[in-house]
Amino acid sequence: MAKIRIYKVAEQLGMPTYEVLEILKSLGADVKNHMSSIDEDLIELLNEERGVRKQESEKRKKKKEKTIMLEKLPTMKEITRLLDMNMEEIILGLGEWNVIFDSKKPLPPLVVERLAREKDWDIEWKDDLREKTLQALQAETLPRPPIVTILGHVDHGKTTLLDAIRRSKVALSEWGGITQSIGAYQVETNGKKITFVDTPGHEAFTAMRARGAQVTDIAVIVVAADDGVMPQTIEAIQHVKAADVSIIVAINKMDKVNVNPERVKQQLADQGLIPEEWGGEVICINVSALQKKGISDLLEMILLQAELLDLRSRQNGFAIGSIIESRLDRGKGPIATLIVQEGTLRVGDYFVAGATWGKIRSMTGDQNKIIKEALPSTPVEIVGFSDLPPAGTKLMVVEDERIAHLIAEQKQQKERAKSLKGNIGKITSLESLLAPEEGKKRELNIVLKADFQGSVEALEQAISQIPTEEVTINLVSRGVGNINEADIILALASSGIVIGFSVKFPTEVMKIAKQEGVDVRLYRIIYEIVDDIEKALKGMIAPKMVEEVIGKAEVRTVFKIPKVGVISGSYVTDGKIERNAFVRVIRKGEIITESAKISSLKRFKDDVKEVTIGYECGIGIDRFEDFTEGDILQAYIIREE
């Protein structure tokens, strides 16, 4: 193989000799000076490396051209000049992120960097300005009271417990002893405050979280010592686990005779909540809400847990909070209860809450005291909204009325566009696994519903055995029974999907799932579930086939036609019946047969393609003749989605 001296190679490539020598040495070539000789193969490698270095040099040059060096934190006015943006554009951008800052004060480093990225710019900070600023901002945060939500099975004493804690008589005034509305209350113990949120149930807790209002730090699960862990207790545990908040269990009704708290702890352990005394991490406290026993122990454990969580927030600057309930008052107009999360909320502040805005005209604390300002974790009722905001909406204080109106108007336009186009939010489905967000570990959260407990256990075992390294599969909830609205909301809040095995998917729940963009999949064979998930993980997912109920008819009479068979004289009560549809026969709430085809559809003596609501017809079903008056025929089609 021919050899060529290095200075000749440099001439051929139009490169300085020293650069050729440097590249060759980095490639491991044994060269001493420009008179050394190299093989032609090495020249090819040299050329390739030269091209790579040239590309990297161009990238560095390009990056330098799009890099801003900052010696100090810029204000909003300064960042508009640096990024060639107008003030309105920056305000709307910050409004989208639910943060807003005083235009006269410096912006935090992370906000500056995010604004720059939106315009394809890089930010470089002189010396260690960024780190020093972040440390200073962290030092400005102060400890705040924990926010606690009470959850559990109906009639296990949630409200009575809260009543014992705040020494009021709320439970006695409630219809049937069941909490009818959402409230928030603050109590003080050992010189420290705790904020309690009393919700109607875990569905409301998760519905708020689905809208972005993750206000809870600690969840107290109330379990009656005489009843033990009940179905709603299990649901509450699953919802709290999905929210990833700390759990404390209050074993209530210890005043009753023949109670067994150890049995309750065993049931909790079966649900994955291992008590602390059994080597787990879940604190269990024995209480009697009725006799007000064990309450101080519970409060002490809440404060201890809060200390471990090191809950902190800033108290300076514009306030941010989450609305937990809203109502319309005849005299005051729209009123909302919210919990302050950052900053200090003051009377007279202008604010934005979703698509509504306003000015705080008055502010009331949890004991109906008129207050002028509220610190983080404080629950307050405020008056001054332009319209009624939904629960779960983020509220943020802004500089003036113009900014409030500007951001609210933009959000109104987005909501109108969303309602016209349908759901345009983030839809989590099996297919979405194929395009994960960059830098994030892929996760598939599943809400699992099946017909029997045995089926749930079999499915859980089958799904846990799916081989996967890149994707984490989480069963955030598993239960027995038909798919309901709570399942959809939990899947939405967890960015998950719903899998149903041999269960019904009611039409009204189907509408909610479609509206919220939640992927629901129905199966009757276990291996198909496993197969679908495996295919999704491998990027081989097949088109999804979904069931769509198109109509219902009630059997009014039954008659037999020679050479045709038994026909049901039916009246269409909903939607329409199509000749090529599938049908299931429902008798007294039980399915008699399904997946059968309609073999004939007649109006009087004529064959027809479809019969709509309000008309009578004759329906024949393939290989089924056991009709009874009062049977419901549910027609459905299977379509590709």
Please state the rounded mean pLDDT for residues 39-63.
Answer: 67
If DSSP codes are grouped into helix, strand and coil, which group holds residue 320? strand
Q: Where does the pLDDT of residue 355 fall: very low under 50, low under 70, confident under 90, or very high at 90 and above?
A: confident
CA distance 611 to 569: 13
Task: State residue 58's pLDDT score.
Answer: 64
Name the residue with higher pLDDT: 26 or 462.
462
Please state the rounded mean pLDDT for residues 37-41.
Answer: 67
Residue whose token pair is 């603050």: 186
Burial 65-87 (b: 16+ CB within 10 A, else e): eeeeebeebbebeebbebbebee
Task: For residue 477, list its beta bridge partners.
Answer: 447
Task: State residue 221's pLDDT score.
Answer: 92
Would you state the structure tokens that stand for residue 564, as one six-digit string?
Answer: 């045709």
Which residue, 193, 235, 552, 519, is CA-closest to 379?
Answer: 193
Of the given ranges (139-143, 209-213, 436-440, 596-600), which has the lowest mean pLDDT? Answer: 436-440
Is the CB of residue 166 less than 8 Å from the CB of residue 379? no
Which residue, 163, 164, 196, is CA-closest to 182?
Answer: 196
Name the residue with higher pLDDT: 205 or 308.
308
pLDDT tens digits for 4-29?
777 777 777 777 777 777 777 776 67
Residue 114, CA distances (Å) to 39, 95, 187 in order: 50, 13, 39
Please state the rounded mean pLDDT for residues 423-446.
Answer: 57
Please state the rounded mean pLDDT for residues 36-52.
Answer: 70
Of the given ranges (175-184, 329-338, 379-388), which has the lowest mean pLDDT? Answer: 175-184
Of the given ranges (82-86, 128-132, 314-318, 433-437), which has the lowest mean pLDDT? Answer: 433-437
> What domains sit in the chain, N to C, each tagged with a CATH number?
3-65 (1.10.10.2480), 67-140 (no CATH), 147-177+187-192+201-206+216-302 (3.40.50.300), 320-421 (2.40.30.10), 431-542 (3.40.50.10050), 547-640 (2.40.30.10)
DSSP state of 589: T
Residue 182 has pLDDT above 60, yes or no: no
Residue 101 has pLDDT above 60, yes or no: yes
The enclosing H or E element of 385 equals: strand 379-385
Counted residue by residue, the chain has a size of 641
Task: State residue 425's pLDDT score.
Answer: 41
- Average pLDDT of the residues of the chain: 82
CA distance 302 to 454: 37
Is the CB of residue 535 less than 8 Å from the CB of residue 542? yes
Strand 442-450: give its sheet, edge to edge: 471-480, 442-450, 497-501, 520-523
The enclosing H or E element of 188 equals: strand 183-189
Task: For residue 149, list its beta bridge partners.
Answer: 197, 219
Please state the rounded mean pLDDT for residues 112-125.
Answer: 84
Which residue, 566, 576, 549, is CA-closest to 618?
Answer: 566
Residue 171 has pLDDT above 60, yes or no: no
Residue 428 has pLDDT above 80, yes or no: no
Name the residue with higher pLDDT: 196 or 443.
196
Task: For residue 221, list its beta bridge partners.
Answer: 151, 249
Of the given ranges (105-114, 119-128, 269-278), which has the lowest mean pLDDT? Answer: 119-128
Residues 6+ apart with CB under 8 A from 104: 75
CA distance 360 to 225: 45
Which residue, 558, 445, 561, is CA-closest to 494?
Answer: 445
Would you state the structure tokens that stand for residue 493, as one six-digit string?
Answer: 């809040």
DSSP state of 294: S
Residue 297 has pLDDT above 90, yes or no: yes
Is the CB of residue 153 less than 8 Å from the CB of residue 230? yes
Residue whose token pair is 């010396």: 127
Name the residue with higher pLDDT: 212 or 237.
237
Task: State residue 438's pLDDT score.
Answer: 46
0.85 exceeded by pTM: no
Residue 533 has pLDDT above 90, yes or no: no
pLDDT tens digits for 571-626?
999 999 998 899 999 998 888 888 788 988 998 888 899 999 999 999 999 888 89
Please state the rounded mean pLDDT for residues 36-44.
Answer: 68
Residue 463 has pLDDT above 90, yes or no: no
CA distance 611 to 605: 14
Would you state the structure tokens that stand for residue 358, as one six-digit string?
Answer: 């306003």
CA distance 190 to 180: 31
CA distance 297 to 288: 11
Please state the rounded mean pLDDT for residues 280-305.
Answer: 93
Residue 322 has pLDDT above 70, yes or no: yes
